[in-house]
Amino acid sequence: MLILLAFSLMPPSPSMPSTGWDKSNHMLGFAVLAMLGHAAWPRHRWAMLAGLLAYGGLIEVLQSFTPDRFAEWGDLLADGIGLLVGEACALLLLRGHVAKE
């Protein structure tokens, strides 16, 4: 979470890791957070997802105070989509793991 926060608040530069599109960066970062969150708190997934979405909102608020970044509703939407994709992937991986046992 701290790495994602740092990348979100740093001035953009070509040397930063990127998928090439800002919204896919958001989706990928939050999908990874959702998968890790699912692994850590599988019984509290809705609270975890809501907390991570609030974290995405906090990042957008903080970006509004930086000179090189801008807060965008589209970024928060991309965060939410990434969370749902990450949760779906975690459930599919879990289903595959359970089926093998």
Residue 65 CA to residue 9 CA, distance in Å, equals 9
CA dist 87 and 64 (Å) reads: 28
Whole-angstrom Cα distance, residue 31 to residue 59?
16
pLDDT in tens, 20-41: 788 999 999 999 999 999 999 9
**48-97 tens-digit pLDDT:** 999 999 999 999 999 999 998 989 999 999 999 999 999 999 999 877 66
Dihedral class, residue 20 (left if φ above 0, else alpha if ψ from -120 to 50, else beta): left
Domains of the chain, residue spans: 22-100
Q: Full-prediction pTM beyond 0.85?
A: yes
